[in-house]
């Protein structure tokens, strides 16, 4: 654990955004992945540097699944991964920032592995995230993998050269969505309470660590997180996410985020673009 894994194996351009440090197989379709979390991060550590954000756990689990797909299931590096479902519960009492960077282990179990010919076409996996023997989070993930040629056909001619993002609308106040910097706000005011326009800043160094022709899943999860913070007026903090992704969020069309109260602790968040639903997410919250 003296260096990160190659950044290409987790689909990151920046070494600073690569959190994994190693992996090994523990049994058939079971793997142990090690990671290190920085004590400071613009998005994934609280502004007062006291706690790790749940979305850091999400990103770590995502990177773990991508790493294992490439290294243990021989998915080529030029293949694209499409998240279908991501269900995670975090335990905030184990997310405190200590005097040294946190060392965590992610125990992964792959199931429902599907192949197209000899290539992995999709799978589900579960993840237990451990820190010092304590459970930080549990997760369930479903994804598909496609070649670049198939991905281009799916995108119907949308490429980096043909698609550009809409101008950024004004952001809601950063404090209203639990952010310290306006540049990290992904919501803009809309026509009524509980509804916002998605702000897609393709220059953001974390959400767009590398150029993309669509809004990434982590940006949509951040929109759900911020919507939940705004919906609860900052009184509650997101601790779990159960999200289903239905289609790509395009850069050149307005996208709208809508939030409604659930059962008292849950917030229901939906992302829409045109007449279509992009994602649906149940955000579990706890008292701040």
What DSSP assignment string belongs to 107-126? EEEEEEEEEETTEEEEEEEE
pLDDT at 2 over 90: no
Q: Which percentage of the chain shows pLDDT scores above 90?
A: 95
Domains of the chain: 7-153 (3.10.129.10), 157-287 (3.10.129.10)
pLDDT band at 231 (very low <50, low <70, confident <90, very high): very high
**Average pLDDT over every residue of 8-30:** 97
**Average pLDDT over every residue of 72-79:** 96
Gap between the Cα atoms of 100 and 234, Å rounded: 29
Q: Which long-range contacts link 177-182 to residues 24+ away (Cβ below 8 Å)?
A: 177/225, 177/226, 177/227, 177/229, 177/230, 178/225, 178/226, 178/229, 178/234, 178/237, 179/47, 179/226, 180/47, 181/42
Q: Which percentage of the chain shows pLDDT scores above 70?
A: 100
Render pLDDT for 166-197 as a digit per residue (tens, 0 to 9). Answer: 999 999 999 999 999 999 999 999 999 999 99
Gap between the Cα atoms of 226 and 248, Å rounded: 20
pLDDT at 263 over 80: no
pLDDT at 225 over 80: yes
| Whole-number pLDDT of residue 203 | 97
pLDDT band at 283 (very low <50, low <70, confident <90, very high): very high
pLDDT band at 264 (very low <50, low <70, confident <90, very high): confident
Q: What is the pTM of this model?
A: 0.96
Gap between the Cα atoms of 285 and 233, Å rounded: 12
pLDDT at 118 over 90: no
pLDDT at 271 over 70: yes
Mean pLDDT across the chain:
96
Gap between the Cα atoms of 12 and 80, Å rounded: 13
The strand ranges marked E within 147-206 are 187-189, 195-198
| Whole-number pLDDT of residue 288 | 72
pLDDT band at 1 (very low <50, low <70, confident <90, very high): low
**Average pLDDT over every residue of 200-206:** 97
**Average pLDDT over every residue of 204-224:** 97
| Whole-number pLDDT of residue 161 | 93
**Average pLDDT over every residue of 70-84:** 96
């Amino acid at each position: 654990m003296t260096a990160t894994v190659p950044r290409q194996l987790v689909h990151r351009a920046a070494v600073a955004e690569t959190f994994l440090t190693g992996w090994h197989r523990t049994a058939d379709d079971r793997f142990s992945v090690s990671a290190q979390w920085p004590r400071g991060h613009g998005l994934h550590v609280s502004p007062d540097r006291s706690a790790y954000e749940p979305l850091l756990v999400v990103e770590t689990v995502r990177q773990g699944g991508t790493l294992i797909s490439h290294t243990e299931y021989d998915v080529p590096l030029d293949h694209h991964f499409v998240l279908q479902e991501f269900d995670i519960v975090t335990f905030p009492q184990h997310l405190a920032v200590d005097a040294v960077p946190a060392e965590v282990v992610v125990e992964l179990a792959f199931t429902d592995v599907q192949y197209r010919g000899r290539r992995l076409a999709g799978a589900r996996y579960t993840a237990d995230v451990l820190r010092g023997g304590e459970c930080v989070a549990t997760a369930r993930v479903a994804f598909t993998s496609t070649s670049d040629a198939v991905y281009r056909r799916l995108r119907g001619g949308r490429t980096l050269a043909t698609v550009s993002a809409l101008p950024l609308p004004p952001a809601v106040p950063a404090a209203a969505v639990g952010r310290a910097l306006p540049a990290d706000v992904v919501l803009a005011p809309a026509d009524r309470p509980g509804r916002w326009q998605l702000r897609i800043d393709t220059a953001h160094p974390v959400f767009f660590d590398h150029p993309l022709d669509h809004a990434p899943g982590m940006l949509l999860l951040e929109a759900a997180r911020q919507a939940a913070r705004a919906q609860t007026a900052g009184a509650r903090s997101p601790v779990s996410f159960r999200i289903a992704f239905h289609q790509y969020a395009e850069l050149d069309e307005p996208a709208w985020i809508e939030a409604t109260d659930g059962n008292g602790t849950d917030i229901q968040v939906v992302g829409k673009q045109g007449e279509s639903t992009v994602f649906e997410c149940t955000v579990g919250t706890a008292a701040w």
